[in-house]
Amino acid sequence: MNKKEQQELERRREWRRMWTRSWTPWTETHPEIEALTLKVKAAGVEALDATRQDVWTYSATSVPLHECGNPSCSIGGIDLRPLVSEAIAEHKSTIHTSAICKGLEGNPPRSCRMIVDVSGWISYKPAATGVGT
C-alpha cells in the first residue's frame, strides 16, 4: 500500500468514525421500536456479478451505513437512515426499496452511483395503554 492509499484509507476511517459518532441506535431514538432488520444486497449490473451476491444484515443497533463495495469510491457508503426514518414515521412494518451511493470516484471525480436493494422489517412495541393501572 503506498502513501496515498494509506492516506485515503485514514480519511475513510476518520469519516466513518465521525459518522458513527453522530448516530444513535434506532431503539434509543425511536423507543417504540421493538426490533428492526435490514437486508442489503447489490442491485443493478452489480447484481449479475457472481462475486457480489452477499446479503448484509443490519439490526436496530448496527450502524446503518452500508459500504458500497466500490474500491475506488471515496468517502462513499450508502446511508440507510433516511429510508428507515421514513418507514418509522409512517409506521410501516416492511421496507422494499433501493438506495444509491453518493460517494465519488475517479479523477476528475464522478458519482459512484452503486445501487443496492434494501429490504427491511420493523416491529413495534404494543401501544402503551392503561398506564398506571
Size of the site for Zn ion (CB under 5 A): 8
Q: Which of 42, 73, 84, 87 binds Zn ion (CB under 5 A)?
A: 73
Identify which of residues 37 and 70 has a Cβ nearer to Zn ion in the complex.
Answer: 70
Find the shortest distance in angstroms from Cβ 69 to Zn ion.
8
Contact between 76 and Zn ion per CB under 5 A: yes
Contact between 74 and Zn ion per CB under 5 A: no
Identify which of residues 62 and 111 has a Cβ nearer to Zn ion in the complex.
Answer: 111
The answer to whether the beta carbons of residues 103 and 70 sit under 8 Å apart is yes
The answer to whether the beta carbons of residues 64 and 80 sit under 8 Å apart is yes
Identify which of residues 56 and 124 has a Cβ nearer to Zn ion in the complex.
Answer: 56
Helices (H), the chain: 3-21, 26-29, 81-89
Q: Are strands 115-124 and 73-74 parallel, antiparallel or unpaired?
A: unpaired
Closest CA to 79 of 18, 129, 34: 18
CA triple 102-103-108, angle to 5 deg: 120
Q: Which of residues 100-129 bind Zn ion (CB under 5 A)?
A: 101, 103, 112, 114
Identify which of residues 9 and 35 has a Cβ nearer to Zn ion in the complex.
Answer: 9
The answer to whether the beta carbons of residues 117 and 40 sit under 8 Å apart is yes
Contact between 38 and Zn ion per CB under 5 A: no
Contact between 65 and Zn ion per CB under 5 A: no
Which residues here bind Zn ion, judged by CB under 5 A?
68, 70, 73, 76, 101, 103, 112, 114
